[in-house]
């Protein structure tokens, strides 16, 4: 028989609306699974059972009142949604994956947490992340490494590895995540999930830790397209003080509604090779894109192969900006010696970047954005979507990318593993990981779809079409 965690988040929310399911019952189910499985999965840095039970009781009371009064509830009312530990929740420890911040407790919510609260979601805890979200694996000095439930010897990716491990192992129905260089799409790929990196400004990054580069954004991780779209609806919206604001949907529209729509016939560019010099794409990742391209063609879309010239301009610019972002992370006095070797390496490198070089790197991002808007993805004449591998290789072993003795080599290995993802962070475009493929070893191999700035709707509609053509949510890992 199906258990509660077999239900989609939207099915759970519907059960709560009708009274067939209690938020208290649902929350206790997930808390029990976390107690039983999380020491193996490494999904959570901080568990919040007391908060979860209090919020669940309040959600139950509100659901009863809404049924009695005939009121609508938010789309995910009463559904558990853990928050990544780079994001601040008032009164809950926020370590940012660092031993230097092991006892840090913020006094205010980030704006996205305000929206999750207003949406009636339940906080199960803070999910595992690497130090300051810098690498693409989730290993730190605070908790066990986050593992993909498809093979517990392999990493869940990063930096939203804990969020992905939680959803993929059935410890949460869906999760808040964030992405500054691929940190939603990378763990979605290695954990067999659907993940959305929204357009720049779609979700507020305030009020305290605005990303001055525009690279990072919060976003959803889920098992289904509709669940992810519903969580995006809950989290989306600009707030006062935000430096960016993505174009809003037409009045009355929701992202969830696009998961039920035909995307129409789209022109799709297919990219199988990375433009980064010397980076090889694994045959499994190339095959996943080729197979997806054939599926898209069969669905009536126009798919054309795309080849990009070899160029490391974006890599140089991204490395400079990423290093500066690492350098400006606040570390309490005496905390530097507690930092991971990669963090110290990037902070030292960032401190050496001149103001002129930082500005030129940001200009390189804007130039790329403009060239895409004016050429490759011009509305009406350019491509609607770009299809590529999400990663250049299958999921790596726990510890497989980490090199404490040589953090410079580690950072180079991270770049070679993730050569496709950072482009959308530099340009601010939306991009998604679609879990259509598994290799011969039974490991998930994601493919990535990137769209025009502000056009998450097309990506959601296209993803839902692919999900209908080749459903994936019923495929469960051994840890399920």
The residues annotated as belonging to the active site are 84, 159, 183
Distance (Å, whole) CA 433 – CA 410: 24
Q: Please classify residue 117 by burial: count the beta carbons closer than 10 Å to its beta carbon, then call 0-12 exposed, 13-18 middle and 19+ buried.
A: middle
Distance (Å, whole) CA 16 – CA 10: 10
Distance (Å, whole) CA 244 – CA 206: 11
- Report the candidate in 176, 181, 318, 147 with the shortest Cα–Cα distance to residue 234: 176
Tokens 């604001």 appear where? 245
């Amino acid at each position: 028989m199906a258990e509660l965690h077999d239900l989609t988040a939207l099915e759970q929310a519907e059960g709560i609306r009708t009274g067939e399911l209690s938020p208290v019952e649902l929350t206790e189910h997930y808390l029990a699974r976390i107690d039983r499985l999380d020491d193996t999965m490494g999904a959570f840095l901080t568990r919040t059972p007391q908060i979860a039970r209090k919020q669940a009781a309040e959600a139950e009371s509100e659901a009863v009142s809404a049924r009695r009064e005939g009121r609508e509830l938010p789309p995910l009312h009463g559904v558990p949604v853990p928050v990544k530990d780079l994001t601040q929740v008032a009164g809950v420890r926020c370590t940012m994956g660092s031993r230097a911040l092991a006892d840090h407790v913020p006094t205010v919510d980030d704006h996205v947490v305000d929206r999750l609260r207003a949406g009636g979601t339940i906080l199960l805890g803070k999910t595992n992340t690497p130090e300051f979200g810098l690498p693409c694996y989730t290993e730190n000095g605070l908790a066990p490494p986050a593992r993909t439930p498809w093979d517990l010897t392999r990493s869940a990716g990063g930096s939203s590895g804990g969020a992905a491990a939680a959803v993929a192992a059935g410890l949460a129905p869906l999760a808040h995540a964030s992405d500054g260089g691929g940190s939603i799409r990378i763990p979605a790929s290695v954990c067999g999930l659907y993940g959305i990196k929204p357009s720049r400004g779609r979700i507020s990054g305030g009020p305290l830790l605005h990303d001055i580069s525009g690279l990072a954004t919060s976003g959803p991780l889920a098992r289904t397209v509709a669940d992810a779209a519903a969580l995006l609806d809950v989290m989306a919206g600009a707030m006062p003080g935000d430096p960016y604001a993505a174009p809003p949907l037409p009045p009355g529209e929701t992202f969830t509604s696009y998961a039920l729509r035909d995307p129409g016939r789209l022109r799709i560019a297919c990219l199988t090779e990375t433009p980064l010099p010397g980076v090889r794409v694994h045959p499994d990742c190339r095959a996943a894109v080729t197979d997806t391209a054939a599926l898209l063609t069969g669905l009536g879309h126009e798919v054309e192969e795309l080849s990009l010239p070899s160029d490391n301009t974006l890599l140089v610019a991204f490395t400079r900006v990423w290093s500066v972002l690492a350098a400006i992370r606040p570390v309490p006095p005496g905390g530097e010696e507690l930092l991971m070797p990669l963090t110290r390496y990037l902070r030292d490198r960032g401190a050496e970047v001149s103001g002129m070089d930082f500005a030129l790197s940001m200009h390189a991002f804007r130039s790329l954005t403009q060239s895409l808007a004016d050429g490759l993805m011009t509305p009406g004449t350019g491509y609607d979507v770009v299809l590529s591998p999400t990663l250049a290789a299958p999921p790596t072993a726990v510890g497989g990318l980490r090199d404490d003795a040589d953090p410079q080599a580690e950072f180079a290995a991270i770049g070679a593993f993730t050569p496709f993802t950072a482009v959308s962070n530099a340009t601010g475009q939306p991009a998604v990981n679609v879990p259509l493929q598994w290799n011969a070893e039974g490991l998930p191999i994601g493919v990535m779809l990137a769209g025009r700035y502000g056009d998450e709707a097309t990506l959601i509609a296209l993803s839902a079409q692919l999900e209908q053509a080749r459903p994936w949510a019923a495929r469960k890992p051994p840890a399920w």
